[in-house]
Structure 1
């Protein structure tokens, strides 16, 4: 049996300002830093073997705060730096080190023209109903942006091809990413319907924990 922990990054400065962040590389707020540290305390009994995160600072910072509280040194593995026969990664890691894989596939949903806008101001410009549809529907994208369905279609292949293989090897995995990329993963794991996923919320810095055995996920109550 293995463990999978999913963590939405701590509050970002644009979460605090009620702005659409998407792929804009916004740092954590002071509250977000505290949320990451509180999350680490909640997870202190876990011994992770490998970590995954997005390419965005707010997720990576949250992960590093969690690992530092566990006295782990995170080491990014950069597959894009391979050169012929050069080996720039260690063949093994000691007990204080944690391999980290980072991918745009785990990035937040891309909000297109809404990125950077205050959500209330967007409602005033486009109308409350339209903004609600863009934010909460499964398959309607904002202008030049991604729908949750689009996010799902890039996140889930990565999850299947890169994360599940570690779980099948009985490795304990932590994934620190974003509200919509992780909602996509949870939709896949729990079989949430297209109609019901818009109702599902994921709080910042609040871990969702599953055990994985014989190809099946079981949610663990906190």
Structure 2
């Protein structure tokens, strides 16, 4: 059985300014670096066999910070891959978050993303993002999961890797928890929070969500 420690990247400037951040990227703030350090301390005694992150710099940098704290830091290979990038928001990249979600959820009767996520699946929200994008560049659920499933297939092929660090993004962790767990995902994972997932040949299961401690 593989144990996957899924960490959301530390706070970025766009997070601080409450803007949509998918494939666009900004650096970690001082608080973001401190959060990554804290996650590293929390996970330091987990002997990671490999570390995987999104190839976006905010996730890759967070992963490197966590690795520096780890008992296996001298042996851990860090694989950065676009397969675990955040959802691509298309037209909404960089837009004020509340304004964007009003445009996405408004036509369906939702004024806030909290109300939307409380009542609809994440996959439905993902489809609505592409629907509301005037360019239709944003990923829909089918496109998004085609990419993420390739990432999980990659993990499943890592023979001998039992403890895996995965550093990715808020909407992605929310999507994983919604599909493979039974959690209230109306509140997204906090920066540098830890979500636990187990994987066998037959099952993927999220066992805890949005925790700051193990």
TM-score range (shorter-chain normalised) is 0.7 to 0.9
Q: State the TM-score, normalized to the length of structure 2.
A: 0.75
Q: Is the 8 A contact 1:47 1:172 kept in 2?
A: yes
Q: Is the 8 A contact 1:156 1:188 kept in 2?
A: no
Q: CA deviation at 1:155?
A: 0.5
- Deviation string 1:88-125 (CA, Å, 9 cap, x unpaired) is xxxxxxxx12112222111111111111122245468x
Q: Does 1:152 align with 2:139?
A: no
- Deviation string 1:18-46 (CA, Å, 9 cap, x unpaired) is 11111112111111111111111111220
Which has the larger Rg? Answer: 1
Give me the whole-angstrom Cα distance separating, in 1, the residues matched to 2:101 and 2:175. 25
Give me the whole-angstrom Cα distance separating, in 1, the residues matched to 2:146 and 2:61. 25
Match among 141, 154, 157 for residue 129 of structure 2 = 141
Give me the whole-angstrom Cα distance separating, in 2, the residues matched to 1:38 and 1:205. 8
Q: State the TM-score, normalized to the length of structure 1.
A: 0.73
Q: Aligned ranges for residues 42-61 of structure 1 at < 5 Å? A: 42-61=42-61
Give me the whole-angstrom Cα distance separating, in 2, the residues matched to 1:140 and 1:127. 6
Give me the whole-angstrom Cα distance separating, in 2, the residues matched to 1:35 and 1:203. 10
2:20 aligns to what? 20
SS of 1:199's equivalent in the other structure is coil
Q: Is the 8 A contact 1:10 1:33 kept in 2?
A: yes
Structure 2 CA distance for partners of 1:179 and 1:148, relative to 1, 3 Å: farther
Give me the whole-angstrom Cα distance separating, in 2, the residues matched to 1:154 and 1:148. 10
Q: Aligned ranges for residues 59-78 of structure 1 at < 5 Å? A: 59-70=59-70
Q: CA deviation at 1:55?
A: 1.3
SS of 2:77's equivalent in the other structure is strand
Matched residue count? 192
Runs of at least 4 residues off by over 6 Å:
none
In the alignment, structure 2 segments of 5+ residues that lack a partner are 118-124
2:37 aligns to what? 37
Structure 2 CA distance for partners of 1:116 and 1:214, relative to 1, 3 Å: closer
Match among 92, 98, 103 for residue 114 of structure 1 = 92
2:173 aligns to what? 182
Q: Is the 8 A contact 1:40 1:70 kept in 2?
A: yes
Q: Is the 8 A contact 2:87 2:139 kept in 1?
A: yes
Q: Does 1:219 align with 2:210?
A: no
Q: Aligned ranges for residues 88-127 of structure 1 at < 5 Å? A: 96-122=74-100, 126=103
